[in-house]
Amino acid sequence: MNIALIAHDKKKDDMIRFVTAYKTIFAKHVLFATGTTGLKIQEATGLEVHRFCSGPLGGDQEIGAKIANNEMDMIFFFRDPLTAQPHEPDVTALIRLCDVYSVPLATNMGTGEVLIRGLEQGDIDWRNVVHGKTEDFIEEK
Ligand SMILES: O=C(CO)COP(=O)(O)O
């Protein structure tokens, strides 16, 4: 599975604790992250992480492109709901694409726990079921 890990600054410690706690599960998958989040996870856990740009510099959009291309299976995006982000439109767009393509998305550690346990229990197949082809979408319109 391709998994994206993203955390706003005030949630980065949570993310590191989370990935450290479930390191053995994450180690079985291909990990992607926005720039700073990925670096901190690598440093803290030693896991290999493919890093995109930092979020405010386009990293959220790069991960969104992977979702649109059916190349992302699960997203852990620990958002900071109490701090204004300069790239709020990018954050909203990423969350929207998860809903467009039914990609499982955890925006906090509580949901993260549920998702990671689901991942460990078995395969997820809804992505293949719901990921429509562009041609179908155009026909429906
Ligand atoms: O801003 C972010 C997500 O919106 C995260 O970006 P960084 O991981 O580079 O801090």
- Our separate counts of H helices and E strands in the chain read 8, 5
Question: Taking the CA atoms of the chain, what radius of gyration do you get in angstroms?
Answer: 15
Q: Please give the residue that has the higher pLDDT: either 107 or 124.
A: 107
For tokens 């706003």, what's the residue? 8
pLDDT per position as a tens digit, 72-114: 999 999 999 999 999 999 999 999 999 999 999 999 999 999 9
pLDDT of amino acid 141: 65
Q: In this structure, which residue's CA is closest to atom 10 in ligand 1?
A: 36
Q: Which domain holds residue 31?
A: 2-140
Whether the pLDDT of residue 21 is over 60: the answer is yes
CA of 25 to the centre of ligand 1 (A): 23
Q: In 3D, which of 56, 76, 91 has the Cα closest to residue 1?
A: 76
CATH of the domain at 32: 3.40.50.1380
**From the alpha carbon of 38, which atom of ligand 1 is closest?**
8
Q: Which residues pair with 51 in a beta bridge?
A: 33
Question: Among 36-45, 49-58, 125-134, where is mean pLDDT lowest?
Answer: 125-134
- Within the chain, strands assigned E span 2-7, 30-33, 49-51, 74-78, 105-106
Q: In 3D, which of 55, 47, 58 has the Cα closest to residue 24?
A: 47
Q: Is 34 annotated in some ligand binding site?
A: yes
Instruction: Specify the 3-state DSSP secondary structure of 117.
Output: helix
- Total domains in the fold of the chain: 1
CA of 6 to the centre of ligand 1 (A): 6
Q: Is 60 annotated in the active site?
A: yes
